[in-house]
Amino acid sequence: MDIRIVAATEEHGTALISLWEEAELLRPWNDARADIRRAITGPSSDLLLGMVDGQLVASVMVGHDGHRGWLYYLAVAQEARRRGFGRAMVQAGTSWLEQRGVPKVQLMVRDGNEQARDFYRALGFERQRVEVLGMVLPQTLDASP
């Protein structure tokens, strides 16, 4: 089976969220629909889908700040794993960045997710000697009527 990589649209939202739930990527502090919207409408990001026979089987969100590219929401449907689709999605994301002249790609793996860490290491990703710090920003109110 060949995977076809396409850019997501908002119409893919429900299927994407189901895929991300199955892959245990969702967190209560992240609004997945807002993440989808930002990725597909942003000037320096995209959301790529892996399709097999018209069905969504994989995803990767990609974006950059001009210097570093990032991969997020890499997911492969349970029944489609171990067929090279994850590797294909990482390649699609890194190619997207290369086409835009971004010199480096990074990603984050949650503590305890050795399977994901080992997957990325097998693809050539290395542990970076940095600490990622973050904080959830307070929700801003929509000022529109």
Q: What whole-number percentage of the chain has pLDDT above 90?
A: 81
Q: d(Cα 29, Cα 31) in Å, to the nearest integer?
A: 7
Cα 142 to chain centroid distance, Å, stands at: 26
| Residue 136: per-residue pLDDT | 80
Would you state the structure tokens that stand for residue 104, as one six-digit string?
A: 């480096």
Q: d(Cα 95, Cα 109) in Å, to the nearest integer?
A: 21
Q: What is the pTM of this model?
A: 0.89
Would you state the structure tokens that stand for residue 68, as one six-digit string?
A: 């570093």
Q: Within a 10 A sphere around the Cβ of 46, how many other Cβ atoms?
A: 19
| Residue 30: per-residue pLDDT | 86
